[in-house]
Copies of this chain bind each other. A is one copy, B any other.
Amino acid sequence: MRSPEPNRNGGLMTPSPGPRNQSQFHSTVSVQKNRRFNVLILIFRFAAFCFSLASAIFMFANFHGGSDSDSVRWYHFDAFRFVAIAAAIVALYSLFEVGASVWEISRGATVFPEVVQVWFDFSHDQVFAYMLLSADSAGTALARTLRERDTCTANNAFYVQSDISVALGFAGFMFLGFSSLLSGFRVVCFILNGSRFHM
């Protein structure tokens, strides 16, 4: 997308630009800043998607010990079920938000109407961040307790894989938290200006 009059001359502006030029200048800067902001959100969303998907896959694939009676599986434990399902929900949500973000960058418009979109993003970011943190805290506590109690080394791979899944979940939570900050900022911009652009 090219600006019809490229009037960004390295920080130096002509002393008295006409009002039309100045408004075009502001509009161009605003569009560019908004694009950079959207790309930043896209990166955070994509990172949250990768980490939570990896967390879900590690937990769903966490069964060891064959089919005999001493096998341990992730769905035998409440907290690990919670970790797996929370990570899967966050991965699905992040995938949707990555799509919405790409749509917005490529077409310059939001998927839903703007007011719905900014509030949808912010509220879901908050709720899912709380959910993921809660699941991973519970998973950490369970993994620690199991490891202390169970001195049998046959299940060591199970515990290591649980720890990896929980750690990946915490990384996903971190990026979801960053996304939540940015979408909160967009809500404030929307309330301030009546548009999601922050200028």
Contact = CB atoms under 8 A, between A and B. Distances in A.
Contact of A78 (B130, B141, B192): B141
Interface in A118-174: 130, 133-135, 137-142, 144-146, 149
Contacts of A134: 133-134, 137
A19 to B, nearest CB: 26
Contact of A141 (B79, B187, B188): B79
Nearest to A78: B144
A191 interface: yes
A149 B148 CA distance: 12
A152 to B, nearest CB: 14
Interface residues of A, number: 22
- One complex includes copies of this chain to the number of 2
A63 B134 CA distance: 26
Nearest to A146: B145
Interface in A64-83: 77-79
A192 B189 CA distance: 9
Nearest to A79: B141
Interface string A76-119: 01110000000000000000000000000000000000000000
A134 B136 CA distance: 8
A120 to B, nearest CB: 17
A190 B98 CA distance: 31
Contacts of A149: 149
Nearest to A139: B141
Given A130-B130, A139-B141, 16 more contacts: A77-B145, A78-B144, A79-B141, A79-B145, A130-B133, A133-B133, A133-B134, A133-B137, A134-B134, A137-B138, A138-B138, A141-B145, A142-B145, A184-B184, A188-B191, A192-B192
